[in-house]
A and B are shown apart, each in its own frame.
Chain A
């Protein structure tokens, strides 16, 4: 017993010392490990933040951890991704705007060039007979009209784009309206040689909410577009009305040239023409279908197109239906 105490007394300082060393070492190793696991990802984040500061938004952060630091990394990564997307979108808008200005300039320049050529021709005495002068006047009038219409449509489009044009939505029987529309179109001089048919599924009234004036504009713009690309002897435009649960779908189908599938998604873009030379011989401002899309968006409806080359094009749009009890209530 005595020997034990003696030994204990002898080794006590060594024991205390080794205990302290052990605690110190564990502490040190733990601190090192923990700080490394915190500091390393923090450095990675700092590096990523610096990359973003320099404008490089493609530098990915992947901390490969599931704890809070991992969550921070994921949030950071999400932020980088969103930022990247929004900048990409902004550049796209910028690009579209530049293209738009270039298109407007081109399309306004063309008729002006024509008018100037005519005026110079008259001034230089090229139009030496009364007949020729008459011809020049007709050409000037045509170009002036073309420009006037383009500016009108541009103005309408920009008003729609700025949402400055109010829609007066009112309940209406679409089936009866389209029937009248088809009747009226058959009397239109431009429709000479074109067969216009209207079919409605179920032959019953279909009540929708719509702005009468703008619906007319939509139909006319689509039909104008159909007329431009007619290339067959038996020209046909078929208007079909489909009744749905929530909405009614209108299909306007022609048997014209058709549109290539690569071009199809762009036909509702302003100033889009399939022909890259932007020939205006077919008339039109290049805004017709863009206006259709704008009006449909104002109505909360959809518009899309289907087409096959050589067979024809179908343009569809939807209008929200009024439920029967709502219709009776109003």
Chain B
């Protein structure tokens, strides 16, 4: 399954985006801060 990382500090928006992407067959992870997001993006393979 293709993985997508969402970096968004507004939790509600991130959650809704996650649900949309999930319905369309992606695996989604959420990070609230840029620093943590970058760390996660570099540690695992993400398509977006």
Binding site for B on A (CB under 8 A): 110, 113-115, 117-118, 120-121, 124, 126-128, 132, 135-136, 139, 142-143, 277, 279-281
Contact = CB atoms under 8 A, between A and B. Distances in A.
A139 B12 contact: yes
A171 to B, nearest CB: 47
Contacts of B9: 277, 279, 281
Provide the main secondary structure of the chain A interface. Answer: helix
Interface string B1-28: 0000000011111011101100100000
Provide the main secondary structure of the chain B interface. Answer: helix
A110 B10 CA distance: 8
Contacts, number: 38
A63 B15 CA distance: 71
Contact of B19 (A110, A113, A127): A127
Interface of B: 9-13, 15-17, 19-20, 23, 32
Contacts of A114: 10, 12-13
Contact of B16 (A118, A142, A280): A118
Contacts of B13: 113-114, 117
Contacts of B23: 126, 128
B33 to A, nearest CB: 9
A121 B16 contact: yes
A118 B12 contact: yes
B16 A117 contact: yes
A139 B13 CA distance: 10
Contacts of A126: 16, 19-20, 23
